[in-house]
Amino acid sequence: MKKLLVILGVLILSSACANNNLKSINLKTLNDKLDNKETFVLYLTDESEEGNVLKTTLNNLKSNNDFQVFTLNTDKLNKDDSKALKEKFTFENTNIIIFIKNGQENTVISRIDDPYISENNLKEELKNQEYIK
């Protein structure tokens, strides 16, 4: 029950926030960024309630820190694009944060897949990965 109340509270707060700092991208744009060897945070999401909790946490951090973060809604991908994305990043479940440096994923073990990670813990991980100071 407590988790449900937390989720509802976060959803209400996120819907009240008119300024969304996260930019949605498609697979083509993602591939362009990777080919251009860019550095950024990638959030793969299915836009579920659970995923939106993590998206809100990311959005809050982005509001107060300068780093590039993009979201890609995996539910909007067609079958071929979904397969291509899974071949590129090898994942089973969505709602994961992937750290990209110079067009490549840092390491699989650095991914964040806990939708309930605290803002402080996520900020510390972003610092450890050298995305924010």
- DSSP secondary structure code for residue 112 in this structure: B
85: enclosing H helix or E strand: helix 79-89
Q: What is the pLDDT of residue 19?
A: 44
Digit-by-digit pLDDT tens for the chain (133 residues) are 655 555 545 555 444 443 457 899 999 999 999 999 999 999 999 988 888 899 999 999 998 888 999 999 999 999 999 999 999 998 888 899 999 999 999 888 899 999 999 999 999 999 999 999 8
| Strand ordering across the sheet containing 23-24 | 23-24, 69-73, 40-45, 96-101, 104-105
- What gap in Å lies between CA 11 and CA 69, rounded to an integer? 20
In angstroms, what CA-CA distances link 127 with 45, 59, 101, 131? 22, 16, 14, 6
Is the whole-model pTM more than 0.75?
yes
Domains of the chain: residue spans and CATH: 2-128 (3.40.30.10)
